[in-house]
Chain A
């Protein structure tokens, strides 16, 4: 059952990477829905049955019943099912202030060299010229207060930019020491960025560093889908593909309606190599 899968989508691939990051011994604050929650729920049903997560509405350690109705990722009986505790938004922020949140995992619209997060506007902010999005929501609390922040985004030039159009939630701002100068707690900050093609970390100088790529793309392809050249680890690892067991759980228990995974390209093993399926 746990043999490497031969067919999967790149979206399923990134969810499985997130699931493998997640461990029983930590507390996670998970952005509502999408790949972050799917990855956490996958881990909870495979390798980390006792992991606890919070969402913005102050739910502690739920055993969510998926799938959810559209948008009902919080303040709904299914999302908050069998929790250890029910709270409110200030309670979630207080737990994060206290240092209980080991990892925050969230989606982002744009990320830059220093891991800054934009979820406010693409283009120019002033005068309503750019394309406006929802704002930081809960991401500001996660990015400022979780010990380690994990971002999930698509591997696209418009997502990886040298400087985000608007800093909605803080990464390393403009480099070492900047967070503390603006009142954020020490020892916190960006840690990883996951895409369907790659995983990034950060170098000592707080700059984004490519660490690993999926077996169906090259480093050059990944760099070709970024607007700036990141640092590159001395040895770029090749990520392991999902297992049949992970995909079975993901497809039959977590994203049964394809709300999260029904996007992105299909990957298959052909002639001993993983590659994008021809469409």
Chain B
């Protein structure tokens, strides 16, 4: 068994309104960052996971996303795994 650092990124689905992202976008424009286009705000989770190998760690993390960490109706996610 080995230790892995799993990073999960959860974002609101692209098709859905993200009012938090819009508010941040407006605030950046107000500060003079005119170069900023669309802003979207999501969540970043960092998990310490023990698994036989990287693929198993990734599979387990995806299963955690399906069951709890992301809501498939409103969110999409991706998973990155590196050795801890």
Please indicate whether A and B come from the same complex rather than being unrelated chains: no
* B-to-A contact residues, CB < 8 Å: none
* A-to-B contact residues, CB < 8 Å: none
